[in-house]
Structure 1
Amino acid sequence: MAQPIMLTLSHIDFTYPGTPEPLFEDISVSFPQGWTAVLGDNGIGKSTLAAIATGCLTPDAGSVSPAPVRLVIAVCPQSTDEVPDNLEDFAADWSPEALSVRQALRLDDGWLYRYDTLSGGEAKRVQIACALAKRPDLLVLDEPTNHVDEPTRNAIAAAMGGFRGIGVLISHDADLIDATCGRSLIFERRHVGHRNVTVANVYQGGYTQANAQRRANDERDAGLLRSARREHERLRGAQAERFRQVQHANAARDNGGRRIDPKDHDARGALHLAKATSLDSGASRAYAQLDGRIAAAERKAASLSVAAKRYDGDIWMDAEPSHRAELVRIGPGVVRFGDAAIVADDATLADGRTPGPDGSPDCVGRCSYLHVDGGLWRVSAEGDGCDRAGGIVGVRIPLLSVGPRDHIGLTGPNGLGKSTI
C-alpha cells in the first residue's frame, strides 16, 4: 500500500492481566508523518500505547487505523541486548539508501560483524540503522539516547531528520525532542470529580514548547476550578440567606397581628415581606431556582479536570562507609575486552609475549588508555596507533585503588572501555 499519512488510535482501553484498574481508558490520538514525542512519567503507559500502535499488544477496546498488519513497522527497543533481526541483511546491503544510513549514523562497517562486542552507543547506532534500513511506514524509537555520548546523540538526531514516515519517539531527552519533533503527546494524570484518570493530550512543538503550554493549561484549569467552587459557595450562601428570609417572613406572618416594636426593623421588614410573599409565591420560586443553580454549579465543578497532585519525596536510609581502608585494587596492566580479564604488567600471555611497561601494543594490540586525575577517570584512545592485533582489544590502566569514601567520575567516548572498567 502507499505510505500512510496518518496513524489513528481511537478510544483505546487497556488493562494488564491481574491488575485491578485499567492502565488507561478512552485514549484517542493520531500520529501524522514526521516525529511525535511521547512523554510522561515512567509506568504511565507510553511504551504500552506504542505496542498497541505497532500491533504487539491488542487493546481491550478501541481500534487502530490503518491496521498494523498493513504497515511496514520497525521498532528500536530501549535495550541494546536485542540484536536486530535484519543485521546480516543490512551488513550485505550496499544500496544508496543503506549507504546514506551508514553515513548519517557514522557507522564503522566492522561493527556489523561484531555486535556482541560493541559499546552501548555503538550498538544503539546499529539498531537504529537496521530499523531505518527496513524503510518502515512507522518507526518507534524507545529511549534511543540513554547512556550515549554527544557524538552518538548528534548522529541519532541526524538520522531521524532524514526519516519521512510516521515517527514515534519515546524519550526523556529534552534536547533530542526539541531538535527532532514537531508535536508532543503527553500522558498526564488528571483529577476529575473524585478520581484520578490518565489522559493523553497533544501539544504543538517539542519538549520545551509543549511543557510550557501544558503548565499554562494547568494554571488555567486550576483557575476555572477555583472560580466554579467560589460560585458554588456563593449560591449556597445566597440560598441560606433566602431560606432565612422566608422563615423569618413566615414567622412574622404568623405573628397574628401582635404589635411589633417600631424599632425592630428586622421584624417589620419580615412582616412586609410576608405580606408580599409566601412559601407559594416569588420567594419560594426563587428559592427553588437556587436549588437548580447550585446543582448545576456542583456538576460544573465536578466535571472540570485539573492536574493530579504529585507526592514527590526522598527516601532516607541509615548508611555509613565501610571501615576498610581499601575496597578495590586493580592493575597496573591491561583490562582485555570480551572476558574482562586483567593482563598484569608481569604476566605472560598465551602466545608467550609479555606486556610492555607502557602497555605497548606488542602484547595486546592497540589499547585505550585510562588517565586518573583526582576523582575523574578519563578513557582515551591515545597510544602509538599500532593495530597489528586488529583494533582496540583492551584498556591500559595504572594501579587503581578505590577507598570507601571515593566518588569517581568515569568519562570518555563510546566504545573505549568505560563499561569494561
Structure 2
Amino acid sequence: MLSIQLEQLYFPDTSDVLLHGIECNFIPGWTGIIGPNGSGKTLLAKTIAGLYSNYRGYIRGISSNYYLQQIDSIDTDEFYEFLCDSSSPSGIIKSKLDINWSHFEKIDCLSFGEKRRIQIGIALFLNPPLLILDEPTNHLDEYSRIIIQKALIDYTGVGILISHDRELLNFLVYQIYILKEGTGKVYSGNYSNYLILSQNERIRSNKEWEIAKYNHDRLSKEYSRRKIIASQAIQKRSGSKLDKNDNDGRAKLGLAIVSGKDGKAGKIKSQMDKKLEDSLLTLKKARGNLSKPELFYQPEQDDHQKNQSILNLAKQNLNLEYMNINIPPIHLTSSSRLGIRGRNGSGKSTLLNFIYDQCKNKFNQKPGNREEMFDEKEIYYMRQVMNAKEKQELIEKITNLPNFIKSEFNSIVHFFQMDAVNRKILSELSPGQWKKLEISWGILTKPKIWILDEPTNYLDIFTLESIERMFSNWDKSLIVVSHDLTFLEKVCTEVIEIK
C-alpha cells in the first residue's frame, strides 16, 4: 500500500502553497486523479514519483515506481529488451497492445497512438510496484483507447491514473481522488459513482445551509426582541422615568432588585447571545460546505436563419500524394453540429483543412494562413496544438484588447474556471488552460462557423462537461473532430466516420 500525507505542497521555486491537506491511501488497483487544469495533478504525480521535493509531509510504502509522463519519446533500449523477451507475460502484453518488431524498424515514423501503446507496453513489461500514468489516452483514437484499457486492467500493482477520459475512469478505477480549491478528497468507486456521490453531497450541503439559515434568522429575530426587553428592563431599574414623588413605584423597584426579578430579561439576553454565536458558526460552516454552482457559458442566440445552407459536399475521393480519403456526403447548415471520428492517420485533420478551404471560398474570403485564424470573423478554426509563435500572437491580442472588451473576455474565461488573464498568467499556462483560452477567444469573436480539431485534448473533466453543455445549446455551425465518443454523442447532431 502507498500512503501519502502532504501538509503543504509548494509551487516550484517558491514558498507559495499549491495544495494542502493531501491525504490518501492507494492499494493495488487503479486510483483516478481528477481536477481542474492547473490544480496540481501533474505536480502531485511527480511528487509521488520522487521527482519533486518541495513539500512538507510524507510518502510511504513503495520506494520504486514507473512514471509515464505526457511525452511521446521512447527509450529504445527498453523497447528492444521488451521485444526480445520471450516470456509469457511479455507475449501477452505485446499481443494485447498490438506491438511487434515492425514498430522498432519504423521507430522514427510511428504515430502518436503507436508510441503511446509502446510506452504503456514497456511500463507493464517492467511491472513496477507503482505505475503512474499522466493522460495516457490523450490524442488516441478509439482503437488504441480500447486495447490500452484492456491491457491496463491486468496490472496488479498500485496504479495512479491522471485522466479526463471518462470511459477509461469508469472502466479502470476503484476510487477517485479529486483536487479542487487547493486540497483533495477521496471518493470510492469509478467516475460515474463519483458523480452520484458528489451530487448527493451538493443536495445535502444545500439542505444543511437552508436549515442553518432558517435557524439563524429565527434566533436573530428572537435576539432583537429580547434585546428590546432587556433595554426596557434596564430603564425600569434605573428609575429614570419615575416621578420624583412616586414613592410607591420606587418601593416596588427596590423589591424587584432584592428579589432579582429585574435581571431576568438580561440573563435571557445573555443566553441568547451564546445561542446566536453558535448559530452563526453553524451558518458559516454550512456556507463553507456549499458547492460552487456549475457554470457553463450560455451563448447568445443569433437571429440568422437557422437552417441556412452553408456547404454541400457530394460523396467523393480526396486524392492526395500521401493518402486517399473517402469523403461521405456532407451538408452543413448555419446550425449544424457535425462530428467526425476515425482512426489515427485516417485523414480527419486533412478533411478539416479541406472543409475549411471550402467554407472560406463560400464566404469569399482570401485564403488565410494559420497566423490569420484569430482575425477571421466568419470562421474560427482551432487546431490541435498551438506553437510558440501562435501563443505569443494570442497573448498580444488579448493584452491589447480595449478595457471594456477585455472585461467581456475575462467574464467568458471565468466560465472555464480561470482567473482574469494578464501577461504573467499567460506565460504560465498549462496545455489545458491554453485550450480554454482558445475557446474563450472564439466565443469573443462570435464566428458563424466553428471548426475544432480534438478540442477535448488536455481539458479537465469539469471544463469538458461545461463545453458539452455549451455546444449542445449552440445555434451556430460546428464541425468537430474528436476521439471522445461521449463528447460527440452529447454535442453533435450527426457523426460521420472516416476510414
Relative to the length of structure 1, the TM-score reads 0.68
Amino acid at match of 1:41: P
Q: Tell whether the 8 Å contact from 1:249 to 1:273 is kept in structure 2 after alignment.
A: no
Residue from 80, 91, 98 that aligns with 1:99: 91
CA shift, 1:235, in A, is 2.2
Residue from 256, 260, 265 that aligns with 2:242: 256
CA shift, 1:249, in A, is 3.2
Amino acid at match of 1:370: I
CA shift, 1:116, in A, is 2.6
CA shift, 1:215, in A, is 1.6
Equivalent position of 1:26 in the other structure: 21
Amino acid at match of 2:277: A
Q: Tell whether the 8 Å contact from 2:74 to 2:115 is kept in structure 1 after alignment.
A: no
Q: Tell whether the 8 Å contact from 2:174 to 2:189 is kept in structure 1 after alignment.
A: yes
CA shift, 1:49, in A, is 1.4
Query: 2:1 aligned with 1:9, yes or no?
Result: no
Q: Which structure is higher in helix share?
A: 2
1:138-180: per-residue Cα shift (whole Å, max 9, x none)?
Answer: 1111111122222211111111111000011111111111111
Distance 1:231 1:411 in 2: 51
Distance change >3 Å, CA 287–CA 105, structure 1 → 2: same
Q: Percent identity, please.
A: 24
Distance 2:175 2:83 in 1: 33
Distance change >3 Å, CA 298–CA 79, structure 1 → 2: same
Distance 2:16 2:153 in 1: 39
Amino acid at match of 2:189: G
SS at structure 1 position matched to 2:186: strand
Equivalent position of 2:224 in the other structure: 240
Query: 2:216 aligned with 1:220, yes or no?
Result: no
Distance 2:54 2:341 in 1: 48
Residue from 126, 138, 149 that aligns with 1:146: 138
Q: Tell whether the 8 Å contact from 2:83 to 2:100 is kept in structure 1 after alignment.
A: no
CA shift, 1:248, in A, is 2.3
SS at structure 1 position matched to 2:120: helix
Equivalent position of 1:298 in the other structure: 280
1:329-387: per-residue Cα shift (whole Å, max 9, x none)?
Answer: xx85422xxxxxxxxxxxxxxxxxxxxxxxxxxxxxxxx53112345989899xxxxxx
Distance 1:207 1:259 in 2: 82
SS at structure 2 position matched to 1:334: coil
Equivalent position of 1:352 in the other structure: none
Equivalent position of 2:40 in the other structure: 45
Aligned positions of 1:4-403 closer than 5 A = 6-17=1-12, 21-66=16-61, 70-71=63-64, 73-81=65-73, 83=75, 86-189=78-181, 198-252=182-236, 254=239, 255-256=241-242, 281-304=263-286, 305-306=288-289, 307-309=291-293, 312-313=296-297, 332-335=319-322, 369-375=324-330, 402-403=357-358
Q: Tell whether the 8 Å contact from 1:36 to 1:182 is kept in structure 2 after alignment.
A: yes
Distance 1:210 1:256 in 2: 70
CA shift, 1:231, in A, is 2.4
Distance 1:233 1:97 in 2: 66
Amino acid at match of 2:167: D
Amino acid at match of 2:71: S
Query: What is the CA RMSD across the aligned residues, in angstroms?
Result: 3.8
Q: Tell whether the 8 Å contact from 1:15 to 1:23 is kept in structure 2 after alignment.
A: yes
Q: Tell whether the 8 Å contact from 1:369 to 1:379 is kept in structure 2 after alignment.
A: no
SS at structure 1 position matched to 2:31: strand
Distance change >3 Å, CA 274–CA 240, structure 1 → 2: farther
Distance 1:180 1:101 in 2: 17
Distance change >3 Å, CA 115–CA 315, structure 1 → 2: farther
Distance 2:34 2:272 in 1: 44
Equivalent position of 2:489 in the other structure: none
Distance 1:85 1:284 in 2: 84
Amino acid at match of 1:233: D
Q: Which has the higher contact order (CA 8 A, sep 6+)?
A: 2
Distance 1:22 1:231 in 2: 36
Relative to the length of structure 2, the TM-score reads 0.58
How many positions carry a matched residue from both structures?
Answer: 330
Q: Tell whether the 8 Å contact from 1:225 to 1:301 is kept in structure 2 after alignment.
A: yes
1:47-97: per-residue Cα shift (whole Å, max 9, x none)?
Answer: 22111111111142000002x5x22x1122223245576222212222211
Amino acid at match of 1:181: V
SS at structure 1 position matched to 2:169: helix
Q: Tell whether the 8 Å contact from 1:369 to 1:380 is kept in structure 2 after alignment.
A: no
CA shift, 1:237, in A, is 2.0
Distance 1:81 1:273 in 2: 90
Q: Which runs of 5+ in 1 are unaligned?
A: 1-5, 190-197, 261-271, 317-330, 336-367, 382-391, 413-421
CA shift, 1:299, in A, is 2.5
Distance change >3 Å, CA 109–CA 291, structure 1 → 2: same
SS at structure 2 position matched to 1:86: helix
Distance 1:411 1:227 in 2: 45
Amino acid at match of 1:246: A
Distance change >3 Å, CA 409–CA 230, structure 1 → 2: closer
Amino acid at match of 1:235: L
Distance 2:146 2:281 in 1: 51
Distance 1:96 1:112 in 2: 20
Say which is worse superposed, 170-179 or 18-27, in terms of deviation. Answer: 18-27
SS at structure 2 position matched to 1:153: helix
Amino acid at match of 1:185: Y
Amino acid at match of 2:31: T
SS at structure 2 position matched to 1:182: strand
Q: Tell whether the 8 Å contact from 1:120 to 1:148 is kept in structure 2 after alignment.
A: yes
Q: Tell whether the 8 Å contact from 2:2 to 2:60 is kept in structure 1 after alignment.
A: yes
Distance 1:170 1:252 in 2: 71
CA shift, 1:243, in A, is 1.0
- Higher Rg of the two aligned structures: 1
SS at structure 1 position matched to 2:17: coil
Distance 1:409 1:112 in 2: 33
